Amino acid sequence: MSKTQLTPKIARWALFLEDFNYEIVHRPECILYNKKHGKGEGFLNPIPKDNVPLNTYHIDFVGPLPSTNKRYQHIFTVVDAFTKFTWFYPVKSPSAQEAIDKLKLQQTIFCNPSRILTDRGSAFTANEFDTYCSEEGIQHLKITTGIPRGNGQIEWMHRILIPVFYPSCPTTKWFKHVPTVQRVINSSISRSTKYTPFELMLGTKMKNKDIKVNEVLHEEYLNYMMHERDEMRNDAKKNILKVQEENRRNYDKKRKKSTPLQGWRLRCDSANTVWDWPQAATKILRTLRSD
């Protein structure tokens, strides 16, 4: 292995050996042998939810979207962890100041939450955002990098939100439809709570007109579920084929190629057979079968 082929992980200790003659040998069998088998380590620790709204917020940015006349390119999303009530705020950039401004707007109507859950994006790891949370007495929780399911409620909302805008809205007018989408989502029954977010938040059902966005959201939800089902079935098929191929290889290791039966003289020694004279195989139907 030449020095140009060294990965940064290997290069750290390889640099200490420059004054020596050495040879690097790749031993994949050692990796396979030392690989841990069985169940993975670590349990899932769901965030405890109180039975009151506005206690925990999930927040994140989605974008960039097509730039509008007002230079909006992102959406700042806030989801209440208990009721699933959602707020969408079009913003110009995914910055800490934009997040703080929208949280202050939330504060004027709903006060501060006890906790905020975010990813580790630059807007939420900035000192400015940490200072705001400390001054307002808000506990700031960050999910583990590379595990988006830690903030899964936001990811689910964004998965619904984006397909609604692109097929039905002009590229520069999408921000005008954000309030309508928010209203429809908050008046739709949540799968986890079995109630609408508006009903859990305010104790009454939302009076809403029948709008086309509702149909689009419902259709997008069905398409997503069908896509998930198809992907699951395809994965199951691949796993079955993989196991079948593995079983075939293991079986064939102990076997040899069968001799063709066509043209052979056959005789059945069973007492229950209807014929007791020699027969000839004239056609092979499938493996290990004959006429």
pLDDT digits (tens, 9 = 90+) for 143-197: 766 565 556 677 777 777 776 666 555 566 777 778 888 888 888 777 777 778 8
The reported pLDDT for the residue numbered 152 is 67
Name the average pLDDT for the chain: 72
Query: Residue 204 has what pLDDT?
Result: 74
In this prediction, residue 129 carries a pLDDT of 86
Range picked from 60-64, 65-69, 283-287 for highest mean pLDDT: 60-64
% of the chain residues with pLDDT over 90: 0
Residues 6+ apart with CB under 8 A from 165: 65, 174, 177, 181
- Pairwise CA distance, residues 214 & 228, whole Å: 21
Find the mean pLDDT for residues 88-101: 87
Q: ω before 64 within 30° of 0 (cis)?
A: yes
Average pLDDT of span 118-128: 84
Q: What is the CA radius of gyration of the chain?
A: 31
Is the pLDDT at 32 greater than 60? The verdict is no
Structural domain boundaries of the chain? 56-231
Lowest-pLDDT range, 155-159, 221-225, 253-257?
221-225
User: What's the pLDDT at 123?
Assistant: 83
Mean pLDDT of 15-35: 58
pLDDT bucket at 21, cuts 50 / 70 / 90: low
Architecture of the CATH domain 56-231: 2-Layer Sandwich (3.30)
| pLDDT for res 274 | 52
Mean pLDDT of 14-41: 59
Does 13 score more than 60 pLDDT?
no
Which residues, 6+ apart, have CB-to-CB distance to 285 below 8 Å?
291
- 204-221 pLDDT, tens per residue? 777 766 555 555 666 666
Q: In this model, does residue 75 exceed pLDDT 80?
A: yes
User: Percentage of residues in the chain with pLDDT exceeding 70?
Assistant: 58
Q: Is the pLDDT of residue 277 over 50?
A: yes
Q: E strand or H helix at 139, and its extent?
A: strand 139-142
**pLDDT confidence of 26, banded at 50, 70, 90?**
low
Average pLDDT, integer, range 280-290: 52
Which pLDDT value is given to residue 156?
Answer: 72
